Amino acid sequence: MNTVEVKNPTFKSKAVREAGGFTVIKPGKTAEVEADWSDTELDRYRSAGLQITKAGAAKADPLADLKAQADELGIDYDGRATQKSLQEAIDAKLAE
């Protein structure tokens, strides 16, 4: 069994199989799951929109990095801002 981190960025709850049953992951939440999934099962979960990484693995989150940079520069942004819009706002602020 491997411990994996499953993030559900969708707007619907998703269930994933783990030892002893299923775990339901609510929208926007992350759960650590003991799993021994086949490649087919792993692909099915990913195609359903789930983000799966090995638990404890270093995760790069470019959106969080851009939000932190925007905060440092005093840029106001919507919580739903995309990477592209944040990068454009940061570039514009730095060009001032």
pTM of the model: 0.56
φ/ψ of 23, rounded to 5, equals -120, 130
| Residues 14 and 47 placed together within one structural domain of the fold | yes
Residue 19 and residue 50 share a domain: yes
- Considering the domain architecture, whether residues 19 and 38 belong to the same structural domain is answered as yes
* Separation of alpha carbons 60 and 44, rounded Å: 23
Amino acid identity, position 20: G
Domain containing 36 equals 2-54
Whether 57 has a pLDDT exceeding 70, the answer reads: no
One domain, residues 10 and 48: yes
Same domain, 40 and 84: no
Q: Provide the token pair at 85.
A: 């819009």
Sheet holding 30-35, edge to edge: 30-35, 2-7, 51-54
Is the pLDDT at 49 greater than 70? The verdict is: yes
The reply to whether 7 and 49 lie within a common domain is yes
Distance CA(73)–CA(55), nearest Å, equals: 32
Check whether residue 69 and residue 33 sit in a common domain: no
What is the tens place of the pLDDT at every residue in 14-29? 999 998 899 999 999 9
Count of domains for the chain: 2
